[in-house]
Each structure stands twice: as structure tokens, then as C-alpha cells.
Amino acid sequence: MQKGVAVLGSTGSIGTTALRVIARHKDRFRVVALTAHSNGELLRQQVREFGPEYVGLVNCEEEQADGWRRGAECLVEAATRSGVDIVLNAIVGAAGLDATIAALAAGKRVALANKETLVVGGELVTRAAAEGRGEIVPVDSEHSAILQCIAGRDRSEIRRVILTASGGPFRGWSEERLASATVADALQHPTWTMGRKITIDSATLANKALEVIEAHFLFGLPYDSIEVVVHPQSVVHSLVEFVDGSVVAQMSVPSMELPVLYALTHPERVSDSGVPPFDPVALSPMTFEPVAYENFPALKLGIDAGRRGGAAPAVFNAANEQAVALFLAGSIQFADIASSIGSALNKLGGLASGSMQDLLDADMKARRHVLESFEC
């Protein structure tokens, strides 16, 4: 029987990839709901093609509305709608948190691309999943790889996981050269074409810090068992070492279609994933190198925030989101992103985190702290 899917953030890089995947698997999936933030034009085309019952545009002019729902409430409405079995959360940033929690509390599967959800509210999110019998299946390629590697194994058999990182566009750059990196430089990712925010996160390696925290909550692993290695070709998507020393890796030609499809069909595998055939010779050499932590301070700041727990990961995320927005607007330098995250964590990392309201306060204070430190 066909499964009903809500695609939140359908106009973005992952959202459009997801719709391509669904279009190829119409026998298995039908689009029940679509939401976007402001791109009404693309959303309208998608509505014509997929005919969803529910359409939400957060930032919608009255004359555009056309029976669509407006405002941020549309995300939770779409995520909890009856007839929706799977919520593909492809929203960027902390804005995706409420919809994830609501979907899990309503017992849905959340195919989660929106990693910020787990960074900001990891404990609340995992509790909502347990209480509501919802299920989180990662879309992020590294976490999809880990899920595939550990399939059927007990957690006690895992010694550590090793997340691969492409190293981003600035791999090998010196500190002096990084000081003059431009927005255009930072947007040139070597192996992936993605939305602007995650592309900058990949240049600072803040993305890998978000992924370490994501792995901690998804797989219930202690931070000491999560490592990062640079693998510039992005063919090995991550590795899992078991207690007997055996290491299992998941590989493919870099393509987000595969992890998106797997998040929809897990634990089943289906053909026609859209991924080009795997040719180990053509994909060689596959190399690995250590992370240059000293040149990419956002990575360690984020991992330390994860270890500290409480509101620190939410502060890390919000400061990063705000600093990336300022960098993309040309208001601050590349190195200012990490330094403003560090400053926000020093000041606000110990804030309370017991409730959703605590997390929202921490998020707001961190954004304000970054804006004020640049007098914006």
C-alpha cells in the first residue's frame, strides 16, 4: 500500500531531491502535504505535479494564499495530518524543531534531514519519539551510513563510529589564507551541491559538529565513541568499528537520493535509487586524513558544546545560524563565524535547558548576542 508523505521544506535542495525520489516510486509513496518558507512559485509547480491535499507557505502574501495555509503553524499541521505516515523534514535550522517533535509525538516516522532539530532539542525529541512511538530515520548521508552498517547489531557490540567529512572547500588552507576567504569561496563545495547554510557549515566544519551531536542522540552513543576523519572523495559515507575490531563502511557515489530513499523505505531496500553504478576503480583513490582542528575551531566548539549538554548545543546552533546569515549577507568575515560561536558559548552555554521554553530562550539570547557583538 502507498505511504503518505509530508515534505517540509519541499523547495530546498533536500526537498526537491525527495520529490524526485518520490516521483520515481509513485507505487510506494504519495505526497500528502508540502510546505515551504517563501518560494511560492516553485511550491505552486510542485503542487501542480504532486497534487497534495495540504499546502503550507510560512511567509505567504494574502493574494498568493489560494487555499494554502500560512504562518509557521502550517509546519506542525502538515506534520501531524492524518494520512501522513512519513514526515520528511527538510527544513533548514531550528525552525524545524516543533514539527519534528509533533510528528514523533503523533507516532509518525520522521525522515530527518533537519539535523538542527536534534542539536537544539535532542533530549525532548528522543523523549517525544519514545512516548509517541514515533521513529526517527536519518537522511544525513553519514547517519544513514551508520544505520545501514549497524543494522541488526546490538549497541553493545559497537566500539566507535567514524564520521567522514569531505573537509569542505577550505581543506588544506592555511590560517592566513582562511582569514581572507570570501562568501563565493565558501560556497564552492568540492563534492556536494546543497543549500547555502549547510554549504557554509561544511566550510567551517560546524556541520560536522552538528553531525557528531546528531549521532550521539540518534544512536545513543557516548561522545568518546564518535570520531571524525577527513575523506575528500565523499564515497565512504561513514564507518562503524565493532568490539572485535571489524570495521564496516557504507559507500556509494555521492548522491543524496540514496539516503533519502533509504529513510523512506528502511529497513527495506528497493531498486531504482537513481545512484550511478559503483565502480571502485573509477572512484579510486579513496583517501583519509586527520581533521585540522586548529584551522576549523567551530568543530571543536560544537563537540565540546555537545559534551557539556544542557542548553550549550542550542546556543552553539543558534549562534552559528545567526553568524552564517551575517557572513552570507557580507556583514562579517569567515573567521568571525567561529569566534562569535565561541563568545556566545562562553556567555550563555550554561543556561537552563529543561523545557522547550528554556531552549527557545537560549536560542534567542544566542542570536541576539551575535548580532550585538557586531553591532547589527
Residues that bind Mg ion (CB under 5 A): 140-142
Which one, 109 or 237, has the nearer CB to Mg ion? 237
Instruction: State which residue, 11 or 265, has the beta carbon closest to ligand NDP.
Output: 11
14 binds, among ligand NDP, Mg ion, none (CB under 5 to 8 A by kind): ligand NDP
Contacts of 52 (CB under 8 A, 6+ apart): 31, 32, 33, 34
CA atoms of 127 and 123, how far apart (whole Å): 6
Give the shortest CB-92-to-ligand NDP separation in angstroms.
4
Q: In terms of DSSP bridges, do strands 3-8 and 29-36 run parallel, antiparallel, or are they unpaired?
A: parallel
Nearer to Mg ion, 85 or 116 (CB): 116
Q: Which does 114 bind (CB under 5 to 8 A by kind): ligand NDP, Mg ion, none?
A: ligand NDP
Q: Pick from ligand NDP, Mg ion, none: which does 241 bind, CB < 5 to 8 A by kind?
A: none
User: Buried b / exposed e across 86-100, counting CB within 10 Å, b at 16+?
Assistant: bbbbbbbbbbbbbbb
Query: Which of the choices ligand NDP, Mg ion, none does residue 36 contact, using the CB cut-off of 5 to 8 A by kind?
Result: ligand NDP
Q: Which residue is nearest to Mg ion (CB)?
A: 140
Instruction: Select the binding partner of residue 13 from ligand NDP, Mg ion, none (C-beta < 5 to 8 A, by kind).
Output: ligand NDP
Greatest Cα pair distance, the chain, in angstroms, is: 63
Q: Give the CA radius of gyration of the chain.
A: 20
**130 and 217 Cβ atoms separated by less than 8 Å:** no
Closer residue to ligand NDP in complex, CB, 9/349? 9
CB closer to ligand NDP, 9 vs 297: 9
Which residues are at the interface with ligand NDP (CB under 6 A)?
Answer: 9-15, 36-39, 58, 75, 90-92, 95, 113-116, 140, 192, 194-195, 197-198, 256
Which residue has its beta carbon closest to ligand NDP?
12
Please choose which of Mg ion, ligand NDP, none residue 120 contacts, taking the beta carbon within 5 to 8 angstroms, the exact cut-off set by kind.
none
> Shortest Cβ distance from residue 316 to Mg ion (Å)?
17
Quickly count helices (H) and strands (E) in the chain.
Answer: 15, 11
- Identify the CA nearest to 345 among candidates 375, 374, 302, 376: 302
Using the minimum distance from each CB to Mg ion, give the nearer residue, 80 or 144. 144
* CA dist., res. 110 & res. 112, Å (int): 6
The percent of the chain in helix, strand and coil, each rounded to the nearest 5, is 50, 15, 35
66 phi/psi in degrees, rounded to 5 = 55, 40
Measured from the CB atom, the residue of 141 and 250 that comes closer to Mg ion is 141
**Consecutive H or E run containing 368:** helix 356-373
Rounded Cα gap, residues 191 and 23, in angstroms: 25
Binding-site partner at residue 198 among Mg ion, ligand NDP, none, CB < 5 to 8 Å by type? ligand NDP
DSSP state of 94: G
**373, interface contact from ligand NDP, Mg ion, none, CB < 5-8 Å by kind:** none
Question: Smallest Cα–Cα separation from 114: which of 131, 106, 104?
Answer: 104
Q: How far is the CB of 216 from Mg ion (least distance, A)?
A: 15
- Ramachandran region of residue 273, left (φ > 0), alpha (ψ -120 to 50) or beta? alpha
Shortest Å distance, C-beta 211 to Mg ion? 6
Pick between residue 85 and residue 211 the one whose CB is nearest to Mg ion: 211
Q: CB of residue 170 vs ligand NDP: minimum separation in angstroms?
A: 18
Smallest distance from ligand NDP to CB 114, Å: 4
Task: State the nearest-atom distance from the C-beta of 295 to ligand NDP, in Å.
Answer: 22
